[in-house]
Chain A
Amino acid sequence: MRDVAVVSFAQSPHVRREQNRNEVEILMPVVREARERSGIAHDEIDFVCSGSTDYLAGQSFAFVAGLDGIGAWPPVSESHVEMDGAWALYEAWVKIQMGYADTALVYGFGKSSPGDLPEVMALQLDPYVLTPLWPDAVSMAALQARKCLDEGVLTEADMAAVAARDRRHAESNPFAQVKGSADPEALLAEPTLVSPLRKHDCAPISDGAAAVILAADDVARRVCERPAWISGIHHIVEPQDPGLRDLTRSRSTEIAADKAGVGAGTVDVAEIHGPFTHQEILIEKALGLGPDTTVNPSGGALAANPMMTAGLIRIGEAARRIQDGSAGRTVAHATSGPCLQQNLVCVMEGR
Chain B
Amino acid sequence: MSDESAEGPVEIIQCPVELDYTYTAGQATTRFLRGVGEGKLLGQRCIVCGKIYVASRGACPIHGVPTGPETVEVSDKGTLVSFSIVRIPSENLSVDPPFAAISVLLDGSDSTFMHVLSDCPLEEVRMGMRVEAVWIPKEEWTTSLKNITHFRPLDEPDAPYDSYKEHL
Contacts and interface: CB of A to CB of B under 8 A. Distances in A.
Nearest to B53: A68
B19 A120 contact: yes
Nearest to B28: A25
Contacts, number: 87
Given A22-B24, A24-B26, A114-B22, A131 B15 contact: yes
A65 B64 CA distance: 11
A22 B60 contact: no
A326 interface: no
Interface residues of A, number: 34
A31 to B, nearest CB: 7
Interface stretch (A69-77, A79-87, A188-196, A213-221): A69-77
Interface in A117-159: 119-120, 123, 127-128, 131-132
Contacts of B22: 113-115
Contacts of A71: 60-65
Nearest to A207: B24
Tell me whether chain B's interface is mostly helix, strand or loop, or mixed: loop
A60 interface: no
A67 interface: yes
B19 A115 contact: yes
Interface residues on B, range: 20 to 34
Nearest to A111: B24
B15 A31 contact: no
A68 B57 contact: yes
A39 interface: no
A21 B26 contact: yes
A120 B19 CA distance: 7
Interface string B7-19: 0000001010101
B43 interface: no
A346 B22 CA distance: 36
A128 B13 contact: yes
Contacts of A115: 19-22
B29 interface: yes
B19 A25 contact: no
A116 B24 contact: no
A123 B26 CA distance: 26
B64 A32 contact: yes
A248 B33 CA distance: 51
A68 B65 CA distance: 9
Given A22-B29, A31-B64, A68 B59 contact: yes
Interface string A222-247: 00000000000000000000000000
A290 interface: no
B144 interface: no
Contact of B61 (A73, A128, A131): A73
B161 interface: no
B15 A25 contact: no
Nearest to A74: B62
Given A22-B29, A127-B15, A68 B61 contact: yes
Contacts of B62: 71-73
Nearest to A73: B62
Interface of A: 18-25, 28, 31-32, 42, 55, 57-58, 65, 67-73, 113-116, 119-120, 123, 127-128, 131-132
Given A58-B21, A71-B65, A114-B23, 5 more contacts: A25-B58, A69-B59, A113-B22, A119-B19, A128-B13
24 contacts: A20-B26, A21-B24, A21-B26, A21-B58, A22-B26, A22-B28, A22-B58, A23-B26, A24-B58, A25-B27, A25-B28, A25-B66, A31-B64, A58-B21, A58-B23, A69-B59, A70-B64, A71-B65, A73-B63, A114-B22, A114-B24, A115-B20, A115-B22, A131-B15
List the 10 shortest-distance A-B pairs measured between CB atoms, nearest first: A71-B64, A22-B26, A58-B21, A73-B62, A68-B59, A68-B61, A114-B21, A25-B58, A132-B15, A70-B64
